[in-house]
Amino acid sequence: MNVLVIGGVAAGTKTAAKLKRQDQSAEITIITKDKDISYAGCGLPYYVGGVIEEKEELIVNTPQKYSALTGVKVLTGIEAVGLDSDKKVVKAKNLSTDAEETYTYDKLIIATGASPAIIPIDGISLPGVFKMRTPNDAIGVRDYAETNHVRKAVVVGAGFIGLEVAENLKLRGIQVTVIDFASQILPNILDPEMAAYGKKHLLKEGIRVITGTKAEAVLGEGKVTGLKTSAGTFPCEMVIMAAGIRPNTAFLQDTGIEMFKGTILTDGHMQTNLPDVYAAGDCAMVTNRITGSRQWSPMGSSANMEGRTLAQIMTGDEKEYKGVLGTGVVKLPNLNCGRTGLTEEQAKAAGYDVITALSVTDDKAHYYPDAAYFITKLIADKTTHKLLGVQVFGPGAVDKMVDVAVVGLNMGAVLEDYENADFAYAPPFSTAIHPFVQAVYILLNKINGDMVSMTPAEYAEGKAEGYTVLDVGLTPAIRGAQYINLGAVKGELEGIGKDEKLLLVCTKGKRAYFLQNRLRHFGYTNTVALEGGVFFSDVKVKNTQTEISADEVTRVKGLGFLRDKTTADKFNGRVITRNGKITADETRTIAEAAELYGSGEVTMTSRLTMEIQGVPFDNIEPLREYLMQAGLETGGTGSKVRPVVSCKGTTCQYGLTDTFALSEEIHERFYHGYSSVKLPHKFKIAVGGCPNNCVKPDLNDIGIIGQRIPQVDLEKCKGCKVCQVTESCPIGIAKMEDGKIVIDDDACNHCGRCIGKCPFSVVEDYTDGYRIYIGGRWGKKASQGRYLDKVFTDKEEALDTIEKAILLFREQGNTGERFGDTIARLGFENVQEQLLKDDLLSRKTENLAAQKHLKGGATC
């Protein structure tokens, strides 16, 4: 049997290898236009982020190794361009020689996969625009980002690949914006309320996400400088196109093969309508395992399984490929997301009597270290109780929740099949009742009428209008709601009628259900529990004049909102503006936000952040979300690294350093990079472009001042009676001694004003650098910092020194003391010695993992 396989990645290589094992007499040839085969396509984003360190790790098999291992012949650089199924001939082009070649077959397997969809817009071919499909794409992105010091990138597409790329670019310290034409992230993968939760999480993690937005043009001359979209122009140095994929099937036009939107139609045996022609992988349309309807599910996992099953079918096994569930899992920053089966919308479209429940459960024993949570949405048929789908969020192993569902979906399980499932339990791994089983119990309670609930989607649609909100959390958490102490409910609730519409809300949903059960016993007939509680939904009570608790004041202070003491519920929100430099679009957004959510007034703080005045408490979260959509954030309080303050640098006549660029690097590396790191107290950083000291670097915990160190060529000195160098020195350090110019390096402040002043070029050359002050402070206990003896001429070394100072403060500082106090206690020489060595960096992981300074000393 002569078998020809077109395509050499997942489906093609898997089919060929299994087929050869099934039938050693088969002559099998793979032709592929790429030079690589069997590469780790799903691992490409992680090479970009450096999680996968070496590019060689992306190649699972070389053609030589694969051929030796399997006995399959592999021809690379051969592109199929036509098919004559009557003659059983494939026409191809040799990409090395441009020669046309033909390949005959007894059986043909088309496994050509898919390629990224390239949006036809201007500028798409500019350097800095990338796709993400092959190892060369990932290698190109990483190399370009490193070589060009990329600081901002836009990812077009909020699907699995787009979000994975976004996370990994962020790992590189790159500020990322994700746009998608769809109205939500992960379209057709998650239901809208789950997608909204994921989007809000990404925004909180510093990844800007803008949905419902169309890419219109890539901007730049010679390289990318921005992306024009229907939502505005986003400055960037890199654009990643991840807006879906298209099957590689253009060469099959006019061959008679049946296709739908470019995908090859196959039956349960992966066979096409053409005799002896099969298809598998991302180019093939298969079926949905639940509904039986046609479904395109281009995933590496299903491609491999399709290939294996096809090989068995072709060698006579009684096999059938029963279809896909659309299973997928994606890693987001500090949150994972998995799904399988039908979404709620898809289940309704398929004609099911759909019922859903959303639950928040522990992912392992709550007392075990690193215990976290699962947010699980189950979709089922209300009539038959058949499980239809699941969507899960959580910091941990969401894949195990999804896989539990996959087994049930494959077997046509109903919810009751899970009731007493004997899943593995030990505190490090799970809860005594498995989290998936807990979710099933909640949905069964809802189906059976034991629990009457409202889904987060229904709450977001306004279904709670007219309900009285009862807060049944462990402690009061919903402003304006009546708090109910669950343990104290022994009878009727005072002042609440038994037929009153009551929305019961707690943290995650369990206590609301318990209260509902108790109230039902006491005759209350109209109670509804909110699924997922305030953990998932942002619950608001309208028209409330309730006093804001001290805990809430503290909480929003951590978000950058300081209470205006002259009002009952107004706050002033600090908008982080990257050292006082913002774009015109950002300025407009801040002004709009002030009008929409505040008093319409904006002030500038002493540290060059902007403050929106008069924001009512209930407007804080809407304001933050409005700002986050524009890539802006609030904050700048607490015992942690504070926003950087910077002078105008080289835009000032005396500026020696591009302080805006430097301080933005510091902002990303330390304000963002250390945003979750607790310190003994606040830690302020200032960047000055020259010794004029405009932003007082020496009165901050750490300050950097640009330096220009003069290089004196005494052989050129003429001993002029009136020396232009001494005349230009603003601090009188340059002097004439014995007929020669002398500049005391220890006393010189390296302002650079003497450079180029001598007509005989005595002081023409110079070295740029940075002087670092440590331990300064302004306020009630003002003290001037002291500079390190070394003048740093390497920027990276200076940045490393800042990091070492932060690490030293965290490791050796006492909670509540400022950095200057730590230096005074340890001794300046001791601290300087540590900052000029690398021991602190070598202990970084252990240092940051330590549970220290949980309640720091900063009060604002």
Q: Pick the closest to residue 768 from 800, 794, 745, 733 (CA basis).
A: 794
Two tokens, residue 316: 């006579």
Rounded to 5 degrees, what angle do the CA atoms 243, 245, 250 make?
Answer: 135
CA dist 469 and 441 (Å) reads: 25
Q: Pick the closest to residue 702 from 639, 774, 647, 645 (CA basis).
A: 774
CB–CB of 536/195 below 8 Å? no
CB–CB of 659/695 below 8 Å? no
Three-state DSSP state, 432: coil
φ, ψ (nearest 5 deg) of residue 533: 50, -155
CA dist 834 and 850 (Å) reads: 20
Instruction: Single out the catalytic residue among 42, 694, 720, 748.
Output: 42
List of residues 6+ apart from 759 with CB closer than 8 A: 724
Three-state DSSP state, 284: strand
Amino acid 375: pLDDT: 97
Domains of the chain listed by start with CATH number: 2-115+247-314 (3.50.50.60), 118-243 (3.50.50.60), 334-450 (3.30.390.30), 454-536 (3.40.250.10), 550-634 (3.90.480.20), 639-704+768-860 (3.30.413.10), 714-763 (3.30.70.20)
CA dist 269 and 450 (Å) reads: 45
Q: Residue 714: enclosing H or E segment and its boundaries?
A: none
- 10-22 vs 63-70: helix crossing angle, rounded to 10: 20
- For the purposes of burial, counting CB atoms within 10 Å of the CB of 96, is it exposed (0-12), middle (13-18) or buried (19 or more)? exposed
Looking up tokens 């390239």 gives 118
List of residues 6+ apart from 20 with CB closer than 8 A: 26, 28, 70, 71, 72
DSSP state at residue 641: B
CA dist 816 and 825 (Å) reads: 13
CA dist 825 and 814 (Å) reads: 10
Cα 802 versus chain centre, distance? 25
Whether the model clears a pTM of 0.85, i.e. scores above it, the answer is no
Strand partners, 355: 380
Is 42 annotated as catalytic? yes
Is the alpha carbon torsion for 28, 32, 37, 43 positive or negative?
Answer: negative
CA dist 258 and 141 (Å) reads: 37
CA dist 632 and 590 (Å) reads: 9
CB–CB of 132/156 below 8 Å? no
CA dist 43 and 139 (Å) reads: 12
The 3 state secondary structure assigned to 589-614 is HHHHHHHHHCCCCEEECCCCCEEEEE
- Residue 466 gets the label, from left (phi > 0), alpha (psi -120 to 50) or beta, of left
Amino acid 544: pLDDT: 63
CB–CB of 185/213 below 8 Å? no
CA dist 303 and 320 (Å) reads: 15
Amino acid identity of residue 444, one-letter, is L
Two tokens, residue 686: 């200032």
- From first CA to last CA, the distance across the chain in angstroms is 77
Strand partners, 176: 153
Three-state DSSP state, 243: coil
Two tokens, residue 194: 């789950």
| Strands (DSSP E) found in 254-353 | 259-260, 263-265, 277-279, 284-287, 294-295, 328-332, 335-341
119-145 tens-digit pLDDT: 999 999 999 999 998 889 999 999 999
φ, ψ (nearest 5 deg) of residue 717: -70, 130
CA dist 15 and 13 (Å) reads: 6
Print burial letters for 554-592: b (CB count within 10 Å at least 16), e (below 16). eebbebbbbbeeeeebbbbbbbbbbbbbbbeebeebbee
Length of the chain: 860
Two tokens, residue 413: 């399980």
Q: Pick the closest to residue 99 from 78, 115, 117, 127 (CA basis).
A: 78
Amino acid 638: pLDDT: 86
Radius of gyration of the chain (CA): 32
Two tokens, residue 542: 């309208």
- For the purposes of burial, counting CB atoms within 10 Å of the CB of 686, is it exposed (0-12), middle (13-18) or buried (19 or more)? buried
Two tokens, residue 468: 């009285």
Cα 577 versus chain centre, distance? 21
Amino acid 545: pLDDT: 66
Torsion, CA 533, CA 538, CA 541, CA 542, rounded to 10:
-150
pLDDT, mean of each 10-residue run, the chain (860 residues):
94 95 94 86 88 84 91 95 95 94 96 92 95 90 93 94 94 91 95 96 90 94 93 91 93 94 95 96 95 92 94 94 95 95 96 97 92 97 97 96 96 95 94 96 96 96 94 90 93 92 96 96 95 94 76 87 89 87 87 95 87 93 88 88 90 88 90 91 95 92 95 93 94 92 91 94 94 93 93 95 97 96 97 96 94 86
CA dist 670 and 676 (Å) reads: 10
CA dist 440 and 490 (Å) reads: 29
Name the pairing type of β-strands 561-563 and 570-576: antiparallel
CA dist 25 and 438 (Å) reads: 53
